[in-house]
Chain A
Amino acid sequence: MSIQVNKAKCVSCGQCCDVCPGNLIQKDKNDKAYIKYPQECWGCTACVKECPVGAIKYHLGIDIGGKGGYLYTKNRGDYMDWFIVSLDRRKHQITINKKESNKY
């Protein structure tokens, strides 16, 4: 359970560093974000949702069944698009209306 920051996409805004509830994300010497303590990640996806450029990917640890896929999000006002990419590169999109309650 952890995240990875795509340094080529990272715009150095620092919002992920700020919002991580475990203070686990820091900046490297090039001012790019990276997760310094990947094993301490809770998997809350706060950073994934905060990133303005979709540079953060979230994956399941291999010890809990990870199969090489990952997810990321795009924020569109009242909507949140979740993208789940499996190992075979198939991309699933699930859109959630933030103003709507869960059915369950």
Chain B
Amino acid sequence: MFEIKTIETDVLIIGGGTAGCFCALTISEQSDLNVVITDKAHIKRSGCLAAGVNALNAYIGKGETPESFVDYVRGDSEGVIREDLVYTIAQRLNKVARRLEELGVPILKDQNGEYVQRGPRSVKINGENIKPLLAEAVLDKDNINVLNHVNIVDYLVKDGAVVGAVGFSLKDNRIYEIYAKKTVCATGGAAGLYKPNNPAFSRHKMWYSPFNTGAGYAMGVRAGAEMTTFEMRFIALRCKDTIAPTGTISQGINTVQVNAKGEEYVGKYGEPTTYMRLYATVMENLKGNGPCFLKTRGITREQQNELIKAYLNMAPAQALKWVEMNSGPAEENVEIEGTEPYIVGGHAASGYWVDADRRTTIQNLYAIGDVAGGSPKKYVTGCLAEGEIAAMSILETIKEGHIVRLNRDEISRKSKDILHFFSNEPPLYTIEEVEGAMQKVMDEYAGGISMAYIYNNAKLAIAAKRIEELLTIVEALKAESVHELLSIFEIIDRLFVCKVLIKHLEARQETRWRCYQENGDYPQKDDDRWMKYVNSVYKDGEVEILLRDLVGRDETYEHPSQ
């Protein structure tokens, strides 16, 4: 039997990653408001920084300014970004980096006490402990209540406003209904939509956290929130098989990308933007010039030893691989490959359409971090900045807020919606089979790895039809445990993300970002028609596309309805 546990709080933050924890800390330090953080795992190691992080890659280095940071992000993203959002992040980057250092994250300094830069916008750190340090700071606060192992399933909505959220515990038989004056979505992006690089035993050896399943996007979609730029997928260029970061090597010791013949190939394809380095690698492999590598052979033993340490601090698989093969980057070049596509607003621009304060289009709902759209390349420090921006807005506006509750019937219906999966008849298909079916159709018909990331309208139509079928089939799945119940909701959320993604891919009739959004019907970039945001709203089972004009960096964007 499940009991229903009701909680009231001033602020509910869904997801205890970097953005969520920092938002909570900011509110807690500046007010006595009560904050509840829910996390489906434990905030000590939940989310995409569980293993650590290799650097702070959003930072205003020497000679750079917030303006030049925006220019860089705009250029790297082919102009379609929310400059206003990126600018407000840029203004806070160095402040939040210092705050991280105060919390205990080591940042490399020179003799004068200045941060050592890895690149113009990057500083060197030891990010292994970043989550435990943030968690410790959060758990230290009396007015933050952390509910670990609680998986939120949907927002509670009354009269068009979010009044809280509902979910279930993974540790005891409890449904949680949590009411809040303000709710912040900080659940991260979506992995596991496409067939992964390692589809067999190591299927979860991926770049992004496989436990970030697009829950925040899906909840927002179902509640009718406007979403933006899902079609700008993110595909990482990674060390082959271990899917470990390449930046540590390429930026850290300044290596180039070479093909099997030893040729430096990126320049053949154009400016070496983030996606171009990936596109060039995909093309070299298609032309038969693979495998492609980071040219590390010949680096010193000392460099190799430092690289091994750096990888232990964020992606230990790569360190294990080198030591196990009794070799290393000094002797062998490091093979690289592109990952499966992810939807993630911290690297690309997919996510909630937010205003300058990170308010979504639904009243009383904020979105920050990887789940918030429009501002690519925000990374860890950008997520902290957004946590702070939302916190400041909440502090200013919460006086007007009040708790609104749903009535007993409505809650009991929500509870039944969650629990009915326990009482379903044994179905024909397992949860794992449905996941495999989704990943296969997305791979083959919505531009996955096996199609060199290219799709066209005819293929997307097949993908769209199959995703609809799977959305019906999941309703019949059966849960034998709360973990299986979690897996069912994860697959439902991913299917919703796929549904919206397919519409966005179809809507942008050009190819703006090679690999990320490679439309076979429209293989060229078309600035005359497509310097626009592709946005969408889900209504009555359909995804409606809206095109919106670009927002400049000096504008303060407000939602029309607010």
Point out residues on A near B: beta carbons under 8 Å.
1-2, 18-23, 36-46, 50, 58-67, 69-71, 80, 82, 84, 86-87, 92, 94, 96, 98-104
Contact = CB atoms under 8 A, between A and B. Distances in A.
23 contacts: A21-B47, A22-B204, A22-B211, A23-B483, A42-B204, A46-B51, A60-B242, A63-B202, A64-B198, A69-B320, A82-B312, A92-B323, A94-B308, A94-B319, A96-B309, A96-B313, A98-B128, A99-B106, A101-B106, A101-B126, A102-B124, A102-B248, A102-B309
Interface stretch (B38-46, B338-346, B367-375, B465-473): B38-46
A48 to B, nearest CB: 8
Interface string B307-318: 111101100110
B319 A103 contact: no
B483 A65 contact: no
A99 B320 CA distance: 22
Nearest to B483: A23
Contacts of A86: 323-324, 326
B317 A103 contact: no
Given A1-B205, A43-B205, A58 B44 contact: no
A60 B124 contact: no
A34 to B, nearest CB: 14
B253 interface: yes
A103 B108 contact: yes
Contact of A60 (B128, B203, B321): B321
B50 interface: yes
A43 B128 CA distance: 14
A18 B128 CA distance: 18
B319 A104 contact: no
Main secondary structure on A side of the interface with B? loop
Interface in B148-193: 148-149, 170
B312 A94 contact: yes
Interface in B181-221: 198, 200-206, 209-211
Given A61-B201, A84-B320, A99-B106, 9 more contacts: A19-B44, A36-B483, A42-B204, A71-B319, A82-B312, A96-B128, A98-B126, A103-B310, A104-B251
Contacts of B509: none
Given A60-B317, A67-B325, A84-B320, A96 B312 contact: yes
Contacts of A42: 50-51, 204-206, 209-211
B310 A21 contact: no
A62 B107 contact: no
A21 B203 contact: no
Nearest to B314: A102
A39 B316 contact: no
Contacts of B42: 18-19, 21
Given A22-B211, A60-B321, A45 B316 contact: yes
Contacts of B320: 58-60, 69-71, 84
B316 A63 contact: no
B45 A103 contact: no
Contacts of A66: 324
B410 interface: no
A69 B200 contact: no
Contact of B201 (A39, A44, A70, A102): A39
Query: Which of B45, B200, B324: most chain A Cβ within 10 A?
Result: B324
A102 B116 CA distance: 11
Contact of B41 (A22, A58, A80): A22
Interface in B475-514: 483, 486
Closest 5 CB pairs of A and B: A104-B252, A61-B202, A101-B108, A44-B50, A46-B45
B306 interface: yes
A103 B202 contact: no
A60 B239 CA distance: 14
Nearest to B128: A98
B210 A84 contact: no
Contact of A20 (B41, B319, B323): B41
A36 B129 CA distance: 26
B334 to A, nearest CB: 13
A59 B319 CA distance: 11
B317 A104 contact: no
B149 A84 contact: no
